[in-house]
Amino acid sequence: MKKIILLFAAAAIVFAGCTEKEETTASSIELSVESIPAGPEGGTFEIQITSSEDWRISGKTVDWMSLSADGGKSGESLSVIVSPNSTMESKSAEFKIFAGSVAKTVTVTSSPLYVIELLDDAEVDVVSGGGSVNYSINTNVPEIEVGFSGDGASWITYEKRSDAFGKTVLSFTVAESEIYKSRSSEVTLTGAGVSATFTLIQAQVDAIISELEGNRLETDLDEQDVKFSVRHNVELDDLVLPEWIELKGTDTQPTAEDGLQTSELTFHLDEAPATRVGTLSFTYNGSEYLSFVIRQQNPNPVMTEIPDEGLRMELADLGWVIAEKGLTSCEIIAAGMTSESLSLEYNWGGNDINSISGLGAFPELSDISISGYTLDVLDLSDCSKINSLYLSTEEISEVHLGNNPLTKFSIYSDAFSYLSNTSLTITGTNVKVIDVNMTESYYATYYEHLATLDVTGCTNLTELHAKREVESYDYGTGQYTTVCVLETIYVTAEQKAAIDAGTLTVEKSDMTSIVVK
């Protein structure tokens, strides 16, 4: 028994000796650094290696990194040479250092060359009204800070960054300008140690401003010179002036602190026969910036009544009268006193005219053209010089020409003409010829309603053309038939005698009768 115990004791001693020997010979390795972050400029980096035995290198090498040795002894160093990184991408590589059965991994990273490259112009123009601005850059900087010079931050807002398809777009909002000179701010983009700058330039608010209240100047009717000033930051284009206004001179002062310069304009006004109004339009590059009114006011204005509002507004647009909406009384101004011709043509959405009463107040009026209005009564009896009249309408039922020297009256007729009223009365002292013929019209079959024509008020009539018949196709029979709605022409006994004597000729349809009234 004692021998057995001694044997176990001896075995334990031997085993303990073996274990202690294995622990003292285990492999080990220590590195001074296990990661090497290299900047874009590259460089040489040292790794101090302490190991239990000789060490060796294992791992795939890359073309932008090299090692000073493949292996070495404990205490020796390894040089890692990283080439400069001229790309915009980060690079990474690994290798292992072994000592016996143990290894340590070394990670080498090469930071990219950070850039902010401007792809758009270095100066960006923005209109005075402001708006959105997108600016394109080429960059690999992950976070960009945006700064503005001067007071740029008060009118420029950086909104967002968008990266797509290898391009970066920076979005800005520029506020509307309220100043009369241009403004600019340098926009600086900064990040990862690099920066770039471009300039936003906002245009001035173009202006031509009158210093007179209401942009108007009023004088009497005398010939005279007048002056007024405008402030502006654009060139004054040539003014288009009424023939009675002449620009005599311009005195321009230097530009003031607010960006505006002052020009004093001198105009010569001819003597006026009556109140007249001239509008001066100040333009720049085809756009109007200021409308200025010069009015020569008659101290004893010539007033007249124009009952029809549509006619008043048309005459006001022509510059014949000064009219206020809703008031029938208006002042006749110079053009109304001297103009000889009046053309009134209805435009869709414009003023309609139902009566032309009041035209006798225009002393020189001799030529009238009227078309397109829903005019029921045409009364020129208060005029005295009308010798030419053009009339195109479907609504007319009465025409009173008074004592005007007009000798011929006609209603325009074409393929679409018709008269919608059932009766038409024409009067006029000097009218010799009346022509209301209608021999072809697509609409007459459906819309013609004129049944009676009264010419008893035309005492000097020598010709009457009143043949208002058209050919109408009957789809039931397949035949054309003659249609005439005009049943009766009323004449005086004297006119009937003249017809019988042949001194008054009448052209009419066989379906129309002549009746003495």
State how far the Cα of 94 lies from the Cα of 72, in Å rounded to an integer: 19
The residue type of 82 is V
- 180-203 burial: b if 16+ Cβ within 10 Å, else e: bebbbbebbbbbbebebebebebe
pTM attached to this predicted model: 0.58
For the segment 330-388, what is each residue's pLDDT rounded down to a tens digit?
999 999 999 999 999 998 877 889 899 999 999 999 999 999 888 999 999 999 999 99
Cα 201 from Cα 223, distance rounded (Å): 49
Q: Which CATH class is domain 29-110?
A: mainly beta
Question: Which residue, among 457, 463, 410, 402, has the nearest Cα to 435 in the 3D structure?
Answer: 410
SS3 494: helix
Q: For residue 347, what are the contacts with CB-CB under 8 A and spacing of at least 6?
A: none
Q: CATH fold of 208-296, please? A: Immunoglobulin-like (2.60.40)
d(CA 453, CA 104) in angstroms, rounded, equals 121
Per-residue pLDDT of the chain (517 residues; tens, 9 = 90+): 444 444 444 444 444 444 444 445 689 999 999 999 998 889 999 999 999 999 999 886 799 999 999 999 999 999 999 999 988 888 999 999 999 999 999 999 998 888 999 999 999 999 999 999 999 999 999 999 999 999 999 999 999 999 988 899 999 999 999 999 999 999 999 998 899 999 999 999 999 999 888 899 999 999 999 999 999 999 988 888 999 999 999 999 999 999 999 999 999 999 998 888 888 999 998 899 999 999 999 999 999 999 999 999 999 999 999 987 788 999 999 999 999 999 999 988 778 898 999 999 999 999 999 998 889 999 999 999 999 999 998 989 999 999 999 999 999 888 788 999 999 999 999 999 999 998 777 788 888 999 999 999 999 999 999 999 988 877 777 788 888 999 999 999 999 999 999 999 999 999 999 999 9
In this chain, the answer to whether the domains covering 29-110 and 116-202 adopt an identical fold is yes
Write the pLDDT tens digit of every residue in 284-321.
988 999 999 999 999 999 999 999 999 999 999 999 99
How far is residue 93's CA from residue 107's CA, in Å, rounded to a whole number? 6
The pLDDT value recorded for residue 479 is 82
Identify which of 262, 239, 121 has the alpha carbon closest to the alpha carbon of residue 180. 262
DSSP 8-state assignment for residue 324 = -
Longest dimension (CA), the chain: 183
Burial class (CB in 10 A: 0-12, 13-18, 19+), 356: buried
Domains of the chain, by residue range, sit at 29-110, 116-202, 208-296, 302-516
Residue 383: CA count within 13 A, CB half-sphere: 27
Give domain 116-202's CATH number out of 3.65.10.10, 3.40.50.10540, 2.40.37.10, 2.60.40.10: 2.60.40.10
Q: What is the pLDDT of residues 45-88, one digit of tens each?
A: 999 999 999 999 988 679 999 999 999 999 999 999 999 998 88
What end-to-end distance do the CA atoms of the chain give, in Å? 174
